[in-house]
């Protein structure tokens, strides 16, 4: 896997103007600094057993558990009856908690694994010094730059101006992921969210929230996807002719799915692809065709989760993806495993067997993947999620070190994907505003935020280089999602789940860019 780097060793330019190399530029080992919240610091190892409650560290991974199964089962039998497990158990095990006993067992399995993991504290600056793209390297001015991306709310705005986000995702199995991504887009401040999903998912999604406009674009049942798809490939005794007829029927449904999604393209500012989509080959094929169409429209994309599974298997799909009038190109938001899969796909290694390397990924890895995915002329920006988020395009990069939550519950990546979609559009608006400076600036100076920000040293006086605006959009989304996660964690601790983070998006946005304006 590391030999992958060698192939791209000549394409790593200095990431930024005025970049001051530091030791951590080349190695993203998590800092060892403690969090500063004394009672949350991990207790010495000898104090941890016999509680088996995991310390929630920044290196916790979702659902990492089974290596310690025997130990966990012992813990379960010891502590069942003495532990109350009313609030959410940690990690994927929580999904098993139909009854009290199962919930405790699942939590114990995860706890045992976490017990072996080391902890690391957060760093104080939200964006690593020396890695910012602004001329001024102070963290305050980095936040100021992100604030510039957040559009003012005026009385003259029209519905839709702040963002019309499409989302291709959700399936019979996963209805939470598109919900979290879509709602994040709205809660951050996007105006409209269209979800394209399975018929089987659309009912639940509409019931979760009437704010989401949900269009069913295929039937999981008739396509044999999801639950029914489990039977696919089994010998069913049907003849070749019957199988060929079934194949044709499915081909037709795939074509219909494409036809149902693509007419929405002209009204969308961005399409988020992947959360909860599933990896059924027919759905992957339909998604591939939809991406090909999106390319002809130069529709800005955010690709996450199962969308990345497709990209890892067909990395050529994003080659030379154009920047349209709205710019943006493609943003991919992999977690560590998804990033390792992208690397595998690009090198022709097995995608399914990819695992993250023992040493942490570096910004050079991220730049290499961004460049390789985009090909000669494509604009692909990668946001690698992790202990710190590394954002890079083919030549520049930055790292967001804003402290996040120590809970790794499902759905936080979906929230980032939806947030990124809106920030991507906002960065386009900000560029327009920057180009037509005067009038909009005057309107902005009416806002209560201006004075406050200036006092705290967070206002940015520098212009955003248009080439960097997607990086800033990704950094902004990362900062917002991580800050909201941290706030939700401070409030809910071990019971923090994705909806708690959604609830904190608004307050974080308000803090960054207060909405009160003086009436003319």
Ligand X SMILES: Nc1ncnc2c1ncn2[C@@H]1O[C@H](COP(=O)(O)OP(=O)(O)OP(=O)(O)O)[C@@H](O)[C@H]1O
Ligand Y SMILES: NC(=O)C1=CN([C@@H]2O[C@H](COP(=O)(O)OP(=O)(O)OC[C@H]3O[C@@H](n4cnc5c(N)ncnc54)[C@H](O)[C@@H]3O)[C@@H](O)[C@H]2O)[C@@H](O)CC1
**Would strands 389-392 and 380-384 be described as parallel, antiparallel, or unpaired?**
antiparallel
Site for ligand X in 283-312 (CB under 6 A): 305
Q: Is 276 part of any known ligand binding site? A: yes
- Report which DSSP code applies to 190: -
User: Which one of the spans 10-18, 61-69, 372-380, 394-402 is the region binding ligand Y (CB under 6 A)?
Assistant: 61-69
Displacement of CA 10 from its chain's centroid (Å): 29
- Report which DSSP code applies to 83: -
Q: Does 410 bind ligand Y (CB under 6 A)?
A: yes
Site for ligand Y in 308-347 (CB under 6 A): 335-338
174 contact, one of ligand Y, ligand X, none, CB 5-8 Å limit per kind: ligand Y
Q: Does 470 bind ligand Y (CB under 6 A)?
A: no
363 contact, one of ligand Y, ligand X, none, CB 5-8 Å limit per kind: none
**Residues 131, 387, 483, 492: which binds ligand X (CB under 6 A)?**
387
CA 140 – CA 479 distance, rounded (Å): 13
Token pair 């960054």: residue = 512
Question: What mask, x for binding ligand X by CB under 6 A, covers residues 431 to 470?
Answer: ----------------------------------------
Question: What mask, x for binding ligand X by CB under 6 A, covers residues 41 to 80?
Answer: -----------------xx---------------------
Q: Does 176 bind ligand X (CB under 6 A)?
A: no
306 contact, one of ligand X, ligand Y, none, CB 5-8 Å limit per kind: ligand Y
**Residues 384, 412, 423, 496: which binds ligand X (CB under 6 A)?**
412
Question: What mask, x for binding ligand X by CB under 6 A, covers residues 333 to 352?
Answer: --x-----------------
58 contact, one of ligand Y, ligand X, none, CB 5-8 Å limit per kind: ligand X
* Cα radius of gyration (the chain): 23
Packing angle, helices 412-435 and 469-492, rounded to 10: 140
CA 41 – CA 71 distance, rounded (Å): 24
Q: Does 413 bind ligand X (CB under 6 A)?
A: yes
- Structure token digits, residue 125: 């600056």
Residue-wise burial string across 220-235, b where 16 or more C-beta atoms lie within 10 A, e elsewhere: beebbbbeebeeeeee
Q: Does 284 bind ligand Y (CB under 6 A)?
A: no
Preceding amide of 419 cis, omega within 30: no
> Which residue, among 361, 395, 392, 380, has the nearest Cα to 302 in the 3D structure?
380
Min dist. Cβ of residue 363 to ligand Y (A): 17
Residue 390's CB is within 10 A of a number of other CB atoms, namely: 28
Q: Is 207 part of any known ligand binding site? A: no
Q: Is 405 part of any known ligand binding site? A: yes
Pick the closer one to ligand Y by CB: 414 or 459.
414
Pick the closer one to ligand X by CB: 330 or 412.
412
Q: Is 411 part of any known ligand binding site? A: yes
CA 95 – CA 377 distance, rounded (Å): 43
Residue-wise burial string across 165-196, b where 16 or more C-beta atoms lie within 10 A, e elsewhere: bbbbbbbbbbbbbbbbbbbbbbbbbbbbbbbb
Residue-wise burial string across 267-297, b where 16 or more C-beta atoms lie within 10 A, e elsewhere: ebbbbbbbbbbbbbebbbbbbbbbbeebbee
- Binding site, by residue number, is 276, 335-341, 385-389, 404-414
- Binding site for (6S)-NADPHX, by residue number, is 276, 335-341, 414
- Interface residue list for ligand X (CB under 6 A): 58-59, 305, 335, 385-387, 389, 404, 408, 410-414, 416, 478, 481-482
- Interface residue list for ligand Y (CB under 6 A): 61-64, 92, 174-177, 275-277, 305-306, 335-338, 356, 410-411, 413-414
């Amino acid at each position: 896997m590391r030999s992958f780097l060698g192939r791209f060793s000549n394409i790593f330019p200095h990431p930024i103007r005025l970049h001051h190399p530091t030791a951590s530029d080349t190695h993203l080992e998590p800092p060892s600094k403690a969090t500063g919240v004394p009672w949350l610091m991990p207790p010495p190892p000898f104090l941890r057993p016999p509680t088996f409650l995991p310390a929630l560290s920044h290196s916790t991974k979702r659902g990492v558990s089974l290596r310690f199964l025997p130990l966990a089962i012992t813990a379960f039998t010891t502590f069942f009856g003495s532990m109350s497990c009313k609030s959410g158990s940690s990690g994927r095990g929580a999904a098993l908690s139909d009854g009290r006993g199962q919930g405790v067992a699942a939590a114990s399995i995860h706890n045992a694994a976490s017990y072996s993991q080391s902890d690391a504290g957060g760093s104080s600056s939200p964006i690593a010094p020396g890695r910012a793209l602004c001329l001024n390297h102070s963290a305050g001015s980095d936040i100021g730059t992100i604030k510039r991306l957040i559009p003012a709310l005026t009385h003259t705005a029209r519905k839709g101006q702040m963002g019309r986000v499409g989302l291709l995702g959700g399936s019979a199995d996963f209805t939470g992921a598109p919900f979290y991504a879509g709602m994040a887009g709205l809660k951050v401040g996007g105006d409209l969210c269209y979800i394209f999903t399975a018929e089987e998912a659309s009912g639940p999604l509409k019931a979760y929230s009437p704010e989401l406009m949900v269009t069913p674009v295929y039937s999981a049942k008739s396509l044999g996807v999801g639950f029914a798809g489990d039977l696919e490939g089994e010998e069913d005794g049907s003849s070749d002719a019957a199988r060929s007829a079934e194949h044709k029927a499915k081909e037709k449904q795939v074509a219909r799915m494409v036809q149902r999604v693509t007419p929405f393209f002209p009204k969308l500012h961005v399409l988020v692809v992947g959360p909860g989509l599933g990896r059924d080959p027919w759905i992957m094929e339909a998604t591939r065709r939809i991406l090909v169409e999106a390319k002809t429209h130069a529709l800005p994309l955010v690709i996450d989760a199962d969308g990345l599974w497709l990209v890892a298997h067909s990395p050529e799909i994003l080659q030379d993806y154009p920047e349209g009038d709205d710019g943006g190109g493609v943003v991919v938001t992999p977690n560590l495993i998804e990033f390792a899969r992208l690397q595998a796909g690009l090198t022709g290694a097995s995608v399914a067997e990819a695992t993250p390397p023992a040493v942490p990924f570096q910004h050079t890895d991220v730049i290499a993947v961004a460049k390789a995915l985009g090909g000669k002329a494509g604009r692909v920006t990668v946001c690698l999620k992790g202990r710190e988020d590394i954002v890079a395009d083919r030549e520049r990069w930055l790292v967001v070190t804003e402290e996040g939550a120590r809970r790794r519950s499902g759905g936080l990546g979906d929230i980032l994907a939806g947030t990124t979609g809106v920030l991507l559009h906002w960065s386009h608006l900000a560029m327009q505003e920057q180009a037509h400076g005067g009038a909009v600036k005057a309107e902005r100076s009416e806002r209560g935020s201006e004075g406050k920000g200036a006092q705290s040293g967070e206002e940015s006086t520098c212009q955003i280089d248009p080439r960097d605006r997607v990086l800033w959009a990704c950094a902004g989304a990362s900062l917002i999602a991580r800050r909201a996660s941290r706030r939700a964690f401070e409030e809910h601790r071990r019971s923090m789940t994705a909806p708690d983070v959604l609830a904190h998006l608004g307050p974080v946005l308000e803090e960054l860019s207060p909405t009160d304006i003086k009436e003319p």
